Amino acid sequence: MKLNRLLASLSILPLLSGLATAVPVPSKSSTARDLHVFCKTFTVESGPSVEKAYCRGYVVGWRGGIEGVLIPDDKGMIGTVTFENDVTDDQMAKVFVLYMEKHPEEENKPPNVALLHSMLDSGLVSISLSADKGK
């Protein structure tokens, strides 16, 4: 019984490895330009796609990693990253695409940096200063 399950599980490995090689994903040294290419599918395509899944996965992971984190604002004051209520993943992806189209100077930056800049620029994210206002 256990052997049958193991064999059944192993039989799908070639399929999964084939899918993994067919999906073009940016390397570890990806740039904001790479993420922009994937996220553009939110504004030009309807329905599911690999590109949308990659973009959504990146945006969701980024949000989970940065929400509530203490970072300096543009004046060096430490504050907490706060998202506006009811911000959706699709909304963040669309805002990022529009921001990148207006700011080509961000293309070579790491995607997480450009994503933060786009969210701050749009007002979907703010940095709430700490009570002590210290550095």
Q: Is residue 135 part of a domain?
A: no
Q: Is residue 90 part of a domain?
A: yes
pLDDT tens-place string over residues 38-48: 999 877 667 78
The neighbour count for residue 13, using CB atoms within 10 Å, is 9
pLDDT tens-place string over residues 3-33: 455 444 444 444 444 444 444 555 555 899 9
Strands (E) located in 14-77: 70-72
Query: What is the domain range of residue 46?
Result: 26-129
Q: Is residue 36 part of a domain?
A: yes
Output DSSP code: residue 88.
-
What are residue 126's phi and psi, to 5 degrees?
-135, 165
Q: Please state the domain count of the chain.
A: 1
Q: Is residue 14 part of a domain?
A: no
Q: Is residue 124 part of a domain?
A: yes
Q: Which pTM does this prediction carry? A: 0.73
Average pLDDT over residues 67-90: 91
DSSP letters for 3-29: HHHHHHHHHTHHHHHHHHHHS----TT
Q: Is residue 107 part of a domain?
A: yes
Q: Is residue 93 part of a domain?
A: yes
Report residue 60 as tokens: 């969701």
- Which domain CATH number covers 101? 1.10.890
